[in-house]
Amino acid sequence: CISQDIDHILEMQSALAVDLGGTNLRVAIVSMKGKLVKKYTQPNPKTFEERIEVILSMCKQAIADAVHQNCRVLGVGVSTGGRVNPKEGVVLDSTKLIREWAGVNVRTPVSSALHLPVWVDNDGNCAALAEKKFGHGKGMENFVTVITGTGIGGGIIQHGELIHGSTFCAAELGHIMVALEGPECSCGSHGCIEAFASGLALQREAKRLHDEDLLLVEGMSVSNKEQVNAADLIHAAHLGNSKAEAVLHTAGTALGVGIVNILHTVNPSLVVLSGILAKHYEGPVCQVIRQRALSSARDIRVVTSDLEEPALLGAASMVLDYATRRTY
Amino acid sequence: CISQDIDHILEMQSALAVDLGGTNLRVAIVSMKGKLVKKYTQPNPKTFEERIEVILSMCKQAIADAVHQNCRVLGVGVSTGGRVNPKEGVVLDSTKLIREWAGVNVRTPVSSALHLPVWVDNDGNCAALAEKKFGHGKGMENFVTVITGTGIGGGIIQHGELIHGSTFCAAELGHIMVALEGPECSCGSHGCIEAFASGLALQREAKRLHDEDLLLVEGMSVSNKEQVNAADLIHAAHLGNSKAEAVLHTAGTALGVGIVNILHTVNPSLVVLSGILAKHYEGPVCQVIRQRALSSARDIRVVTSDLEEPALLGAASMVLDYATRRTY
Ligand SMILES: [Ca+2]
Ligand SMILES: [Ca+2]
Ligand SMILES: [Zn+2]
Ligand SMILES: [Zn+2]
Residue B49 — very low, low, confident or very high, per pLDDT cuts 50/70/90? very high
Cα–Cα distance for residue pair A232/B268, rounded to 1 Å: 40
Q: Work out whether the CA dihedral B270, B190, A205, A255 comes out positive or negative.
A: negative
List residues, by chain if needed, whose CB lies under 5 Å from ion ligand 4.
B 175, 185, 187, 189, 192
Give residue B212 CA to ligand 4 midpoint distance, Å.
26
Cα–Cα distance for residue pair A263/A289, rounded to 1 Å: 9
Cα–Cα distance for residue pair B141/B122, rounded to 1 Å: 20
Strand ordering across the sheet containing A90-93: A83-85, A90-93, A104-105
- Three-state secondary-structure class, residue B35: coil
The kind and range of the H/E element at A24 are strand A24-31
Q: Taking 90 as the threshold, does the pLDDT of residue B141 lie above it?
A: yes
pLDDT tens per residue, range A37-63:
999 999 999 999 999 999 999 999 999
pLDDT tens per residue, range B82-115:
999 999 999 999 877 788 999 999 999 999 999 9
Judge contact between B91 and B118, C-beta under 8 A: no
For chain B, the farthest-separated pair of C-alpha atoms sits apart, in whole angstroms, at: 71
pLDDT at site A2: 54
Q: Determine whether A123 is an active site residue.
A: yes
Does residue B264 have a known ligand-binding role?
Answer: no
Rounded to two decimals, what is the model's pTM?
0.94
Cα–Cα distance for residue pair A61/A69, rounded to 1 Å: 12
Q: Point out the ligand nearest to the CA of residue A153.
A: 1
Please give, rounded to a whole number of angstroms, the shortest distance from the CA of B155 to a CA of chain A.
Answer: 9
The kind and range of the H/E element at B155 are strand B152-158
Q: Taking 70 as the threshold, does the pLDDT of residue A4 lie above it?
A: no
Q: Give, as one character, the DSSP assignment of residue A42.
A: E
pLDDT at site B2: 54
pLDDT at site B157: 98
pLDDT at site A258: 98
- Total Cβ atoms within 10 A of residue A49: 9
pLDDT at site A25: 96
Which chain B residues are closer than 8 Å to A176 by Cβ? 261, 264-265
Q: What does pLDDT average to over chain A? A: 93
Q: Which residue has the higher pLDDT, B1 or B97?
A: B97
pLDDT tens per residue, range B233-290:
999 999 999 999 999 999 999 999 999 999 999 999 999 999 999 999 999 999 999 9
Cα–Cα distance for residue pair B189/B237, rounded to 1 Å: 28
Judge contact between A319 and A76, C-beta under 8 A: yes
pLDDT at site A95: 78
pLDDT at site A217: 87
Average pLDDT over residues B319-328: 75
pLDDT at site B7: 59
pLDDT tens per residue, range B196-244:
999 999 999 999 999 999 999 888 888 777 789 999 999 999 999 999 9
Considering the candidates A7, A123, A232, A321, report the single residue annotated as catalytic. A123
The answer to whether the CB atoms of A178 and B175 lie below 8 A apart is no
Please give, rounded to a whole number of angstroms, the shortest distance from the CA of A268 to a CA of chain B.
Answer: 6
Which chain A residues are closer than 8 Å to B93 by Cβ? 295-296
pLDDT at site B326: 52
Helix axes A107-114, A48-68, angle to 10 degrees: 40
Residues B139-161 as b or e (16 or more Cβ within 10 Å = b): ebebbbbbbbbbbbbbbbbbeee
pLDDT at site A99: 87
Average pLDDT over residues B66-74: 93
Question: In Å, what is the CA distance from A94 to each residue of A20, A121, A183, B6, B201?
Answer: 11, 12, 22, 54, 39
Average pLDDT over residues A110-118: 98
Question: In Å, what is the CA distance from A52 to each residue of A29, A47, A100, B231?
Answer: 18, 9, 11, 60
Residue A104 — very low, low, confident or very high, per pLDDT cuts 50/70/90? very high
Cα–Cα distance for residue pair B164/B143, rounded to 1 Å: 14
Q: Taking 80 as the threshold, does the pLDDT of residue A224 lie above it?
A: no
Q: Taking 90 as the threshold, does the pLDDT of residue A5 lie above it?
A: no
The kind and range of the H/E element at A173 are none
Residue A264 — very low, low, confident or very high, per pLDDT cuts 50/70/90? very high
Q: What does pLDDT average to over chain B? A: 93
Strand partners, B114: none
Strand partners, A156: A144
Nearest residue to A192 (alpha-carbon basis) of A244, A255, A245, A253 = A255
pLDDT at site B294: 96
Model ipTM?
Answer: 0.94
Q: Taking 70 as the threshold, does the pLDDT of residue B5 lie above it?
A: no
Query: Quick one: residue B9, left, alpha or beta (phi over 0 = left, psi -120 to 50 = alpha)?
Result: alpha
Cα–Cα distance for residue pair B266/A271, rounded to 1 Å: 16
CB-based contact, B172 to chain A, within 8 Å = yes
pLDDT at site A324: 73
Please give, rounded to a whole number of angstroms, the shortest distance from the CA of A12 to a CA of chain B.
Answer: 37
Q: Point out the ligand nearest to the CA of residue A129.
A: 1
Q: Taking 80 as the threshold, does the pLDDT of residue B9 lie above it?
A: no
- Nearest chain B residue (CA) to A94: B296
Backbone angles phi, psi at A6, to 5 degrees: -65, -45
Average pLDDT over residues A113-117: 97
